[in-house]
Amino acid sequence: MTAPRLTLPSPAKLNLMLHILGRREDGYHELQTIFQFLDYGDEITFAVRDDGVIRLHTEFADVPHDNNLIVKAAKKLQEQSGCSLGVDIWIEKILPMGGGIGGGSSNAATTLLGLNHLWQLGWDEDRLAALGLTLGADVPVFVRGHAAFAEGVGEKLTPVEPEEPWYLVLVPQVSVSTAEIFSDPLLTRNTPPIKVRPVPKGNSRNDCLPVVARRYPDVRNALNLLGKFTEAKLTGTGSCVFGGFPSKAEADKVSALLTETLTGFVAKGSNISMLHRKLQSLL
């Protein structure tokens, strides 16, 4: 009998805005941000094992096996649920690391949701999101799968319905260190909190952008090039840069002009993650 298998998408996210309100006593920063998903991402395949072993078969040059968030997520879920089953995991990786589009966090969330389904644990979303938060501040939004206005360190989520344009995402070939950006003395840390819902138009800036653009010329170049065609934004602490377009044809047209010198992709914005659409289809 072949082991139960499941292949699931692990989507990218964008930060449509990112305001930094202040630094907390624990060293983390108070944020306000809007997360939206892209119909674009990695693909992860899970096959159940009955011996309790968790093995990621895809190797990553810079990340030891047990340090990978996929493995950490699987082990934490196994420990906390008391499940005796294990899993073999393979990933088709296309999301860049250090790009600000949530690759690692998304992979962790897909692992939690996928194994909850395969191991038949019956955990609800709240419990999975709470476990996800111990792996990273961005994991809960991927677990919940709905575009959200986020506060705190990014874990207090209120569902929102922003427009769903087509995006051109440019991927400068640099990995931006989040810790480095958040420790920069020139980072804006006193943006007044937004109290109005929905978030007023014109509040779409990213407070990390000036610091990242100053430190990383490749990101600055991507912002300048894309800015000739649409409002160019930074997602998270970067390095990825994005802009919205009303149609795929328009996004493709600009992509053809810019991707001769820069890596990039075109993807549809989505308020419901493609992971959740796939899981829904399995019910």
- Known catalytic residues are 13, 138
104 annotated to bind ligand: yes
Region for 182 from its dihedrals, namely left if φ exceeds 0, alpha if ψ lies in -120 to 50, beta otherwise:
alpha
100 annotated to bind ligand: yes
194 annotated to bind ligand: no
Phi, psi (degrees; rounded to nearest 5) at 115: -75, -30
Amino acid at 188: T
236 annotated to bind ligand: no
Which residue stretches of the chain are H helix? 69-81, 103-118, 125-133, 139-144, 178-182, 209-215, 217-226, 248-258, 274-282
Contact 102, 9 (CB under 8 A): no
Angstrom CA distances, 173 to 77, 180, 218, 221, stand at: 34, 17, 8, 12
Distance of CA 35 to the CA centre of its chain: 8
For CA atoms 262, 267, 273, 275, the dihedral sign is negative
103 annotated to bind ligand: yes
98 annotated to bind ligand: yes
Angstrom CA distances, 131 to 97, 101, 127, 136, 238, stand at: 22, 21, 6, 9, 26
Q: Rounded to an integer, what distance in angstroms lies between the CA atom of residue 245 and that of residue 229?
A: 9
Which helix (H) or strand (E) is 159 found in, with range? strand 156-159
Q: Rounded to an integer, what distance in angstroms lies between the CA atom of residue 136 and that of residue 154?
A: 10
Q: Which residue has the tokens 């419990």?
A: 127
96 annotated to bind ligand: yes
Residue ranges at the known binding site: 96-106
Residue ranges at the known binding site for ATP: 96-106
